[in-house]
Amino acid sequence: MTTNVINDQSEHDSHDGEHHDHKMTGLKRWLYTTNHKDIGSMYLWFSFIMFLTGGVMALVIRAELFQPGLQIIEPDFFNQMTTVHGLIMVFGAIMPAFTGLANWMLPMMVGAPDMALPRLNNWSFWILPFAFAILLSSFFMESGAPNFGWTFYAPLSTTYSNGSTAFFVFAVHIMGISSIMGAINIVVTIMNMRAPGMTYMKMPLFVWTFFITAYLLIAVMPVLAGTVTMVLTDTYFGTSFFDAAGGGDPVMFQHIFWFFGHPEVYIMILPAFGIVSTTIPAFSRKPLFGYSSMVYATASIAFLSFIVWAHHMFTTGMPLFGELFFMYCTMLIAVPTGVKVFNWAATMWRGSISFETPMLFSIAFVILFTIGGFSGLMLAMTPVDFQYHDTYFVVAHFHYVLVTGALFSIFAGAYYWLPKWTGYMYNDTLSKWHFWCSLVSVNLLFFPMHFLGLAGMPRRIPDYALQFADFNKWVSIGGFAFGISQLIFLVLVIKCIKGGEKAPAKPWDGAEGLEWTVPSPAPYHTFETPPKID
């Protein structure tokens, strides 16, 4: 298989050579590229642009909530902001960033010359900008952008939606197609193109987490496609899937959506586990503790993610048995996640740690992601969820998981591999500034939300009672500080690409072999059973 791909690629290159003097340049290079590194770079840049776009929307929301009353925007536009902010951050920022990291690093980690399906790879990237152009274009339409929340619950997205629902549905379909193609590419690459001798249990954990995530994507993206198609036909073609008057059921929408939506949350965090399991051993100068338990924990989380979806729906009135089942299954997810946190801590234990920027982001990830995990454990309990549902406590919970979790891991990976990608070392002072500004501001932004939620402030509402004013002011200040901090990262990356100090062969001066990939599984030490010798 590998040989065929190499031959195919070389034929493709020579064919290109006839027309383009061996190397395409300018725009053509990026439009037609089948090179996994180029495509990885495009995914990363695209995700960063989307991150800033979604971030501006978040700042509009926080500017409105800086003080009580309606200051800047109308409630309808506020709802449009919350909806598109969520869609862009999930489908446009976090997921493409992970796909970009996978494109860049996976072939090198498994010893493949490229991704298995290079042309599919190109296509799965290039349809994404069009999907988000369609979504964002709805702001300029008379009816306005989607205003029903990123979870687009029926009947808000059907009976009561504005005129842009069709554009939203089309955009989501294209994003889904892109995700499915990217996932197929990852699975085929890992299964068919590993270097000789690299068995599954010798793959780096980074590879494992993307492998499992790709299967999750292939399983749940068609469910999302079905959901948005039913929303489309209910809105424009007279069907009644979610309309009680026609024999449908609006609660069925929530079941179908969350059957996609809950594994989706793990699609956005499992790759983060892989990145952190790469950086922490490298900067602890130690092999990863408990490699095989990490693999099984990842697989367990993926399996459990399919049977907990209705914990988003405790307040819809399900039978007591259903509530108990979903409560216990949700709490069970804390076990494999706890195994991971323990293993990261054990990896750092008595290591010769150096606190370079990737390690700082990784340690922050472990601590802050754990806070998000604990608040998730609280929300898993049915009677507690009755109180906190649809409050800012939930907003605090999932932002701790997705910002200080997924996003911080992406920063850790970007700082870890930037010298490899560009050939230059980045400005260490700037990177430290980026880390500390982000760390302080992100906690100022999201931690007070826990208290707002516990006191009963509802989410997605542009106005609030006077009692919430002080916390909201601090949250908004934290939001703007966090947004501005990300510009430091932009400046740093551009400076790094342009040049600077040349990166040595081993930029992190680590223990032998603990550089771009971590040897897996760990060599024998006192905590593991001795390896079998063939």
Query: Is residue 410 within 8 Å of 101, Cβ to Cβ?
Result: yes
Q: Is 12 a catalytic residue?
A: no
- Annotated catalytic residue, options 36, 62, 340, 399: 340
Q: Which residues pair with 458 in a beta bridge?
A: 391
- Annotated catalytic residue, options 38, 64, 234, 264: 264
- Annotated catalytic residue, options 20, 255, 459, 473: 459
How far is the first Cα of the chain from the last one, in angstroms, to the nearest whole number?
Answer: 27
Q: Is 392 a catalytic residue?
A: no
Q: Is 340 a catalytic residue?
A: yes
Burial grade of 64 (CB within 10 A; 0-12, 13-18, 19 or more): buried
CA dist., res. 445 & res. 455, Å (int): 17
Q: Which residues pair with 502 in a beta bridge?
A: 424
DSSP 439-478: HHHHHHHHHHHHHHHHTTPBSS-S---GGGHHHHHHHHHH
Query: Is residue 164 within 8 Å of 124, Cβ to Cβ?
Result: no
- Annotated catalytic residue, options 36, 62, 286, 312: 312
Query: Is residue 216 within 8 Å of 263, Cβ to Cβ?
Result: yes
- Annotated catalytic residue, options 266, 309, 424, 516: 266
Q: Is 293 a catalytic residue?
A: no
514's CB contacts (< 8 A; 6+ apart) are 281, 282, 285, 287
Q: Is 262 a catalytic residue?
A: yes
Q: Quick one: angle between helices 36-64 and 118-137, nearest 10?
A: 20
- Annotated catalytic residue, options 36, 62, 85, 194: 85
* Preceding omega of 75 cis (within 30 degrees of 0): no
Count of residues for the chain? Answer: 534
- Annotated catalytic residue, options 286, 311, 397, 434: 311
Q: Is 243 a catalytic residue?
A: no
Query: Is residue 279 within 8 Å of 416, Cβ to Cβ?
Result: yes
Q: Is 227 a catalytic residue?
A: no
- Annotated catalytic residue, options 138, 178, 347, 441: 178
Nearest Cα residue to 209 out of 292, 298, 282: 298
Q: Is 119 a catalytic residue?
A: no
Nearest Cα residue to 362 out of 370, 175, 104: 370
- Annotated catalytic residue, options 38, 114, 356, 385: 114
Q: Is 264 a catalytic residue?
A: yes
- Annotated catalytic residue, options 34, 337, 375, 404: 337
Q: Is 389 a catalytic residue?
A: no
Nearest Cα residue to 168 out of 222, 101, 228, 223: 228
Q: Is 62 a catalytic residue?
A: no
Nearest Cα residue to 68 out of 473, 478, 474, 463: 463
- Annotated catalytic residue, options 99, 124, 179, 404: 179
- Annotated catalytic residue, options 34, 277, 298, 370: 277
CA dist., res. 520 & res. 388, Å (int): 42
- Annotated catalytic residue, options 36, 62, 194, 262: 262
Q: Is 179 a catalytic residue?
A: yes
Backbone phi and psi for residue 391, each to the nearest 5 degrees, phi listed first: -110, 175
Supply the residues annotated as catalytic.
85, 114, 150, 178-179, 262, 264, 266, 277, 311-312, 337, 340, 459
